Amino acid sequence: MPNISMRGLEMPASPIRKLAPLSDSAKARGLKVFHLNIGQPDIFTPEAGLEAVRNLDRKILEYSPSDGFRSFREKLVHYYSKFKINVNADDIIITTGGSEAVLFAFLACLNPGDEIIVPEPSYANYMAFAVSAGAVIRAVPSHIEQGFALPPLEKFEELINEKTKGILICNPNNPTGYLYSRKEMNRIRDLVSKYDLYLFSDEVYREFIYTGSPYVSALHLIGIEENVVLIDSVSKRYSECGIREGMLITRNKELRKTVMKFCQARLSPPLLGQIVAEASLDVSEEYMNDVYDEYLERRNFVIDSLNKIPGVYSPIPMGAFYTIARLPVENADEFCAWCLSDFEYEGQTVFMAPASGFYSDPELGKNEVRIAYVLKKEELQKAMLVLEKALEEYKKINS
Same domain for 181 and 200, yes or no, is: yes
pTM score of the predicted model: 0.95
Q: Do both 276 and 348 map to the same domain?
A: no
Residues 353, 270, single domain; the answer is: no
Length of the chain: 399
Is 51 part of any domain?
Answer: no
187 and 40 within one domain: no
Spatial contact of 200 and 166, defined as CB atoms under 8 Å apart:
yes
My answer on whether 273 and 292 are in the same domain is: no
**Residue 160 sits in the same domain as residue 210:** yes
pLDDT at residue 211, rounded to an integer: 92
CATH code, 216: 3.40.640.10
- Cα–Cα distance list, 230 to 76, 91, 105 (Å): 13, 10, 9
Same domain, 267 and 290: no
Handedness of CA 158, 164, 165, 168 (dihedral sign): negative
10 close to 134: Cβ distance less than 8 angstroms: no
Domain boundary among 280, 296, 330: 280
**Is residue 50 in a domain?**
no
Give the side-chain half-sphere CA count within 13 A for 219. 22
Please tell me whether residues 164 and 25 are part of one structural domain.
Answer: no
Domain boundary among 250, 280, 310: 280
Residue 381, pLDDT score: 98
Phi/psi at 134 (5° precision): 75, 15
DSSP 319: B
CA distance 36 to 329: 18
Rounded Cα distance between 40 and 283, Å, is 20
372 closest CA partner among 231, 239, 174: 174
- Specify the pLDDT at position 1: 87
Instruction: Tell me the C-alpha distance between 253 and 343, whole Å.
Output: 55
The answer as to whether 174 is a domain residue is yes
Boundaries of domain holding 195:
57-280
Residue 170 lies in a domain: yes
- pLDDT at residue 213, rounded to an integer: 84
119: Cβ–Cβ under 8 A, 6 or more apart, which residues?
Answer: 139, 140, 141, 142, 150, 151, 169
> Is 49 inside a domain boundary?
no
Q: Strand ranges (DSSP E) for 36-174?
A: 92-95, 115-120, 136-141, 164-170
Residue 394's alpha-carbon distances to 93, 327, 329, 363, 387, in angstroms, are: 49, 11, 8, 21, 10
213, 248, 280 - which closes a domain:
280
Rounded to whole angstroms, the Cα distance separating 275 from 243 reads 10
C-alpha dihedral over 188, 190, 196, 202, to 10 degrees?
20
User: Per residue of the chain (399 residues), what is the pLDDT tens digit?
Assistant: 888 888 888 888 777 678 999 999 999 999 999 999 988 889 999 999 999 999 999 999 999 999 999 999 999 999 999 999 999 999 999 999 999 999 999 999 999 999 999 999 999 899 999 999 999 999 999 999 999 999 999 999 999 999 999 999 999 999 999 999 999 999 999 999 999 999 999 999 999 999 988 899 999 999 999 999 999 999 999 999 999 999 999 999 999 999 999 999 999 999 999 999 999 999 999 999 999 999 999 999 999 999 999 999 999 999 999 999 999 999 999 999 999 999 999 999 999 999 999 998 989 999 999 999 999 999 999 999 999 999 999 999 988
87 and 228, same domain (yes or no): yes
Q: Which segments within 163-275 are labelled E, that is strand?
A: 164-170, 198-202, 228-233, 246-249
Looking at the chain, which runs of residues are DSSP E strands?
32-35, 92-95, 115-120, 136-141, 164-170, 198-202, 228-233, 246-249, 322-326, 348-351, 353-354, 368-372
Same structural domain for residues 34 and 92? no
Same domain? For 171 and 293 the reply is no
CATH of the domain at 369: 3.90.1150.10
Question: Of 233, 273, 227, which is closest to residue 254 (Cα–Cα)?
Answer: 227
Beta-sheet pairing, 136-141 with 164-170? unpaired
Task: Give the chain's domain count.
Answer: 2
Pair (92, 196) in one structural domain: yes
Instruction: Report yes or no on 399 lying in a domain.
Output: no
